[in-house]
Amino acid sequence: MNERVTSVFLAILLGWVIWGIASLMLPGIAALIVGIVAGGLLVRFLRHSIALRGIVAVLDPMGVVLPILILRQAFGAIGLPFQPFGAAELLGFLALYIPFLAASFGVLPIDFYRVGYRPLPVALIVLALCLCAALTGHWIIALIAVVGQALWVFKIGSSNYFDHVLHATLVPLTIVVLMARMLG
Amino acid sequence: MGTYLIILLAVLSVGLSAFALWQRERLNWRFKMPQAVTATDSPQFERIFDYMAPTGQAHSPAILLDHDEFYITWFEGSQEAQADVDIHAVRFTQTGAGWRAGTPGPIVTRRALGDVFEPEQLVVTLGNTVENENATGGMFATVVSVGGWAMASVADLRLGQGGLMWARKLNLSPFLNRSFLVKSPMVAMADDTYALPAYFEMGATYGAFVRLDSDGRVCDARRMAGVGNKPIQPMVVPLSDTRAVAFLRDFDPSGRLLVSHTENGGKSWSAALSTDIANPSAPVAALALGDGRILMAMNDDAAGADRLRLAISGDEGHSWQVISTLEQDDGDARYPMLRRVSGGDILLTYSHATKRGIRACLFNQAWVEAQ
């Protein structure tokens, strides 16, 4: 990911974390504003610090999926309607994504990740994701798929499409969401 | 509204796909065979570099060719994988009296690499390097930002007159782009690109034959997986325009060197299987000499890596004849690299005294023939 795009995504990510912490003390919109402002300021003034260089080193390539999901949550907080993912949909995602990651570890003799370097399979995957978005009503799936494809086609960031639309941190995040729903 | 947005995005994706298909580079899965070198002059063998790190370790040397000169690079610090390890180098220039070594010193520091990385990021330690033959001043380095070697990534670096200029990571794994390393030189392909032998070091482990496009971005990668073993550090030797053999270290202490073959220019590789060659879980270096002959520098004692020998095969790696013992009983002598330098001579470098220093020897084809 190039430096400018990474900085924007990093600001969104940090803003989201600060928003979460601030929401423990402040009302909804105020916490969101604090998060946005603090995320932007942190990246503006501390981008060269060891802490932020370390976060980039750990999370790179960031892809578009985390920033778009965070923005979706932020828009939800200010009242824009969106349809949350159901538990079955989240479980379905994990059922597909965990074997995908396992295959990259050599656990499965198939290399799914390699498909993400090639234009024709990627074209089919994006259309399949758009179809999935239409069937489930989650337009955000199509948005992630096509924004990720645009970055991939114009060689901004990773040379593998999957890096733009997936991120390993989605596994623990999805599990946390599922557990919260079970407990709540 | 949502349905219209999805249709609009689908139409946009069709346009993006058309553009991607139009601009894609078609890979030629054929090797470029090196020109055969014939022995014309008298046998010559010379140790041209013998370096001991003032403190700590110096290990895993690589050879970078630069027109009529060459560099030997290695990583040096208090200890392998520690947070004070940088890449050091020594430059060799040709004089009337032969090759003259410059003053060894750091060429890539962790801080400087972190500064030029795109995007800027933390670098904790550095490891194996190889020349990026696709790019002027190019080098691949094994980079760790968190954890040990199993959390490493491969960085594509550019070096210029002012030092380190630019770097980015190759995208090789969906798991935070982790656990890929390099060790062996690139492989020339018939379409004038180069493929990079790399390896995945976490879990099951496997070798990888990585294809890069003209921009140096990864555009394909094929696995060299094992069966009941853990292949890493592939050393690829083309035998014809479509056939090649890869010698791999077994990360498990099986005591044997592994081998994998391709019959289709690297598109697919056979399962890595054990050979009869003893090996103490150490990488080997090899060089095609033409006519099915291969020169190899290897540790061929399963019990330890203190013996480094040169061997030659006349039958594409099926049988081997030792031609010289370079090191024995003086600490581990490991991580050899073999390359031809300008003029056709063969350069061998390796770490000696159990990672304390770097040695390099230069010899010619006539010396190999005479052994």
CB contact under 8 A, A101 and B200: no
Residues 288-347, chain B: which have Cβ within 8 Å of A? none
pTM of the model: 0.96
* Residue-range domain boundaries for chain A: 1-60, 83-184
> Is A181 in CB contact (< 8 Å) with chain B?
no
> Is B68 in CB contact (< 8 Å) with chain A?
no
Name chain B contacts of A163, Cβ cutoff 8 Å. 171, 174, 177
Question: Which DSSP string corresponds to chain A?
Answer: --HHHHHHHHHHHHHHHHHHHHTTTS-HHHHHHHHHHHHHHHHHHHTTSHHHHHHHHHH-S--SHHHHHHHHHHHHHTT---PPPPHHHHHHHHHHHHHHHHHHTTSSS--SGGGGG-HHHHHHHHHHHHHHHHHHT-HHHHHHHHHHHHHHHTT-S-SSHHHHH--TTHHHHHHHHHHHHHH-
- pLDDT tens per residue, range B199-234: 999 988 999 999 999 999 999 999 999 999 999 999
Chain B nearest-CA residue for A63: B176
Q: Kindly state the percentage of chain B with pLDDT values over 90.
A: 90
Q: Which of A57, A101, A139 sits opposite B6 (nearest CB)?
A: A139
Name chain B contacts of A117, Cβ cutoff 8 Å. 218-221
Q: Which of A47, A104, A120 sits opposite B174 (nearest CB)?
A: A104
CB contact under 8 A, A153 and B20: yes
Q: Which of A142, A158, A159 sits opposite B10 (nearest CB)?
A: A142
- pLDDT tens per residue, range B43-63: 999 999 999 999 999 999 999
- pLDDT tens per residue, range A93-127: 999 999 999 999 988 889 999 999 999 999 999 99
- pLDDT tens per residue, range B313-326: 999 999 999 999 99
pLDDT (0 to 100) of residue A1: 65
> Is A23 in CB contact (< 8 Å) with chain B?
no
* Residue-range domain boundaries for chain B: 31-370
CATH class (in words) of the domain with range B31-370:
mainly beta
Q: Which of A50, A100, A155 sits opposite B174 (nearest CB)?
A: A100
Question: Nearest CA of chain B to the CA of A46: how many Å?
Answer: 12
CB contact under 8 A, A117 and B9: no
- pLDDT tens per residue, range B65-119: 998 899 999 999 999 999 999 999 999 998 888 899 999 999 999 999 999 999 9
